[in-house]
Amino acid sequence: MRGKLVYPYSDALLQYEFKKDHPLKPDRLNLTYHLSKYLGLLDKVKEIEPTLASRQELELFHSPEYIDAVEDSGTNNNTHPQYGLGTSDNPIFPLIHDTGARYVGATLDAMRAIMDGASNAFCISGGLHHAHKNVASGFCIYNDVAIAINMLHQKKKCRVLYFDFDAHHGDGVQNAFYRSKDIMTISVHQTGKTLFPGTGFIYETGAAEGVGYSVNVPLLPGAGTPELIRVFDEVVVPLFESFKPDLLVTQMGVDGHYMDPLAHLTYTSYGYETIIRKLRDMSSDICKLGWLAVGGGGYHPVNVARLWTLFLAVMLDEEVPNEMPTEFKEACIQLGYQEIPELMRDEDEVVQLYSSREDVALDLERAIRRVNELVFPYHGL
Residues that bind Zn ion (CB under 5 A): 166-168, 253, 255, 297
Report, in Å, the least distance between residue 304 CB and Zn ion.
11
Q: Of 130, 132, 189, 257, which residue is the catalytic one?
A: 130
Report, in Å, the least distance between residue 138 CB and Zn ion.
7
Report, in Å, the least distance between residue 77 CB and Zn ion.
28
CB-nearer residue toward Zn ion: 294 or 324: 294
Report, in Å, the least distance between residue 370 CB and Zn ion.
23
Report, in Å, the least distance between residue 24 CB and Zn ion.
10
Q: Is 80 a catalytic residue?
A: no
CB-nearer residue toward Zn ion: 253 or 341: 253
CB-nearer residue toward Zn ion: 57 or 255: 255
CB 21 within 8 A of CB 115: no
CB closest to Zn ion, residue no: 297
Report, in Å, the least distance between residue 252 CB and Zn ion.
11
CB-nearer residue toward Zn ion: 119 or 187: 187
CB-nearer residue toward Zn ion: 89 or 234: 89
CB-nearer residue toward Zn ion: 166 or 204: 166
Strands, DSSP E only, in the chain?
Answer: 6-8, 46-48, 120-123, 160-164, 183-190, 214-219, 247-251, 290-294
Catalytic residue numbers? 130
